[in-house]
Structure 1
Amino acid sequence: VSADYDDLVREARAVFGDVLFFTASGRPLSYRAAYAGCSDGVHGQYRLWLDGRPCDVIAPFRGDYGTENCIAVAAAAHMLGLTAEEIAAGFADAQLPPQRFARSRRGNWDIVDDTYNANPLSMARMLDAAAESAQKRPFVVVLGEMRELGSVADREHERLGRHLAQLRPVLVFWRGGHADAVRDGLEHGLYTGKFLPVDTGEAFVQALREHLPAETGEQGGLMLFKGSRGNHLEELLEALEQSDWLPGSRTESL
């Protein structure tokens, strides 16, 4: 169980008599991990400690968000008897499933498909990871409503807007509800770019043509697609792939 969430620690101890904790936040535990940077623009390097012993792994994703995932998997594997070498080999051979930070390339643009689902925590972490991957190149986000948040929905979407403003994407596309709350957050964060609600794939591609400067399109950058499953953001991604945006380019999986 992760030791980094007080409510999770409390509930786990209330249910189980013996709990093994791991951490991704630097606590002095026997199972812990830290992000060590990007190895080649796509893969991330992570330093793990398995029962106190160091183990370096290379994973098919990059960013600090992956630290928690790495140590959770590695701790469970180590408890089941796998060696550090076997765990590192497993990470090296791992393939990400579709719609889970799957990367492809279109012309000079890196496309990140994380359209499977979204919640406030995963949205913030994917945005941070994608912004880091952009490496100061133009950054475009195509996002959808975070559903099933109940009474906190407006608050969380406004908070998302504030977070987006800090990352300074050149364009923010939005599909779904709570657009006004996201716009409010962007305004409070002093975002100076464009916020563009879209309903269809055709509208998205047309807005991209109209609002992304030609020189920026040619320069290239990174475009992230992410939203709750019910938004079907893969429809916008499919519209982009079927369009002649960036004529002469084709999409290649990385």
Structure 2
Amino acid sequence: MAVTGSNGKTTTKDMIASVLSTQFNVTKTHANFNNQIGVPVTLLSMEPNTEVVVVEMGMDHFGELDFLSRLVQPDVAVITMIGEAHIEFFGTRDRIADAKMEIVHGLKEDGTFIFNGDEPLLQERAKEVSQHQRTFGLDDTNTLAGSDITTSRAQTQFKTSLWPNNMYTIPMMGAYNVNNALAALLVADTFHIRPAAAQQAIASFVPTENRTEWLTGYRGEAILSDVYNSNPTAARRVLAAFAAVPTKGQRIAVLGDMLELGDQSDALHMSLASELDPATIASVYLNGEHMRALAEVLQEKYPAGAVHYYQTDQQPQLIADLTATVSADDQVLLKGSHGIHLEKVLTALEAAPEK
């Protein structure tokens, strides 16, 4: 089976592999080896007794998913959502949706297309797909709808329309992760996995390293690290989740440039201001050339001295300023594209101060 989407595909892949492993011998994409090299590597690494292979598929140009889908020929194809990732190469979300829909080009005639039914761009394009279709989302018109969502630092709980008496738990914060879980549960149902087995598998799945995770800094501060990748949709979602987590100290957001946004980059960086409120996130540290646009907007809504901007090559100064400020009761969010290397900030927060 094949999984793609602007956000959530690696987490969804991990969840799907977990639920299917309750009944089948499963091979899944390692880490995020999801390109024209990684997908063949996944197929060639299958053990002889593999019954289901869960293949994550990524793309940043037209034709790439067409090639991967025809190579894999999946029985089930999943699209998690449509965001702005790689919009530099496509121009609009409509064209990103067109490219993501290539995942059904290799879908078997008797296969199943599972997609986010809350996304109008996918609903419209799914009308051209002849294979069986099932949808997930928060709207109750979906095949599987989520509801009653509660989230904390360590986990998120929710109920579903198909199994309303069951409370599902995933070991991750953020209501945005519910859709990933719903996709996995719908795959489980498609493969006739017992609901109780799927419920347990979702609760105990292990996400790929470097995804959103809580860590503890040297001073005792709580660090929400999400330094692998970033795009506007993902950043807004994690900011909203971070702002809702209770803390005794201050919430501090450290944001790095979101790459591959093209001509819309400055405007999309500025859009993060909607999720940044001094009442919930006390101070903001921004790193990268495009974050300058967000810094200028935030200066108007934050008190003096609460917004700190650093050019890309000024990250060492950011680290010095941040580590001199953070205290044991604080919570720190790290979110940026991997090319900005906020993992260096994480390393500094976890390390003992130099004497």
TM-score range, shorter chain: 0.7 to 0.9
Matching residue of 1:71:
182
Aligned twin of 2:116: 2
In 1, the alpha carbon distance for the partners of 2:197 and 2:203 equals 10
Alpha-carbon deviation of 1:228? 1.1
Cross-structure match for 2:140: 27
Query: What residue in structure 1 maps to residue 43 of structure 2?
Result: none
- Alpha-carbon offset, residue 222 of structure 1: 1.2
Distance 2:171 2:222 in 1: 15
Q: Secondary structure at the match of 2:187?
A: helix
1:239 matched to which residue of 2?
Answer: 348
* Structure 1 residue aligned with 2:287: 175
Q: Percent identity?
A: 25
Matched, 1:165 2:277: yes
The structure-2 alpha-carbon separation of the partners of 1:201 and 1:180, relative to structure 1 and needing over 3 Å to count, comes to closer
Read off the aligned partner of 1:140 and give its amino acid letter. Answer: I
Partner of 2:244: 132
Residue by residue over 1:10-53, the C-alpha shift from the partner in whole angstroms, topping out at 9 and shown as x without a partner, is 122223443211112x32333011253136x4111121233x65
2:327 maps to 1:217:
yes
Residues 202-252 of structure 1, C-alpha deviations (whole Å, 9 max, x = no match): 323311245x3xxx724x12111111121111111112222429x9xxxxx
The question of 1:47 aligning with 2:159 is answered yes
- Give the conservation status (yes or no) of the 8 Å contact 1:47–1:55: yes
What SS does structure 2 have at the residue aligned with 1:157? helix
TM-score by length of 1: 0.83
Quote the Cα distance in structure 1 between the aligned partners of 2:278 and 2:121: 28
2:150 maps to 1:37: yes
Which deviations, in whole Å up to 9, do the C-alpha atoms of 1:37-70 show, x marking residues without a partner? 136x4111121233x6543211111221112111
Structure 2 unaligned runs (5+)?
A: 1-114
Equivalent position of 1:96 in the other structure: 207
Q: Which residue matches 2:28? A: none
1:202 to 2:316 alignment = yes
Q: Which amino acid aligns with 2:214?
A: R
Q: Per-residue deviation at 1:197?
A: 2.6
Query: Does the CA-based 8 Å contact 1:174-1:197 persist in structure 2?
Result: yes
Question: Does residue 336 of structure 2 align to residue 227 of structure 1?
Answer: yes
Relative distance call for 1:45 and 1:9 in structure 2 (3 A) is: same
Q: Is residue 267 of structure 2 the alignment partner of residue 155 of structure 1?
A: yes
Structure 2 match to 1:250? none
Contact map agreement 2:140 2:161 (CA 8 A) in 1:
no
Q: Distance in 2 between matches of 1:224 and 1:42?
A: 15
Give the alignment partner of residue 145 of structure 1, picking from 231, 240, 257: 257
Contact preservation (8 Å) 1:200, 1:236: no
8 Å Cα contact 1:157-1:185 kept in structure 2:
no
Shift of the alpha carbon at 1:135?
4.4
Larger relative contact order (CA 8 Å, sep ≥ 6): 1
1:100-159 CA-to-partner distances (Å, cap 9, x unmatched) read 111112344211111111111100001111111244741011111111111211111111
Distance (Å, rounded) in 1 between the aligned partners of 2:346 and 2:314: 11
Q: Could you state the TM-score of these two structures normalised by the residue count of structure 2?
A: 0.61
Residue type at the aligned position of 2:123: V
Number of residues of Structure 1 aligned to a counterpart in Structure 2: 237
User: Any idea what SS the aligned residue of 2:299 has?
Assistant: helix
Q: 1:60 aligns with which of 167, 171, 179?
A: 171
CA distance in 1 between partners of 2:133 and 2:314 (Å): 48
User: RMSD value over aligned CA atoms?
Assistant: 2.4
The separation in 1 between residues aligned to 2:136 and 2:245, in whole angstroms, is 26
Range with bigger deviation, 201-210 or 125-134: 201-210
Secondary structure of the 1:165 match is coil
CA distance in 2 between counterparts of 1:166 and 1:119 reads 22
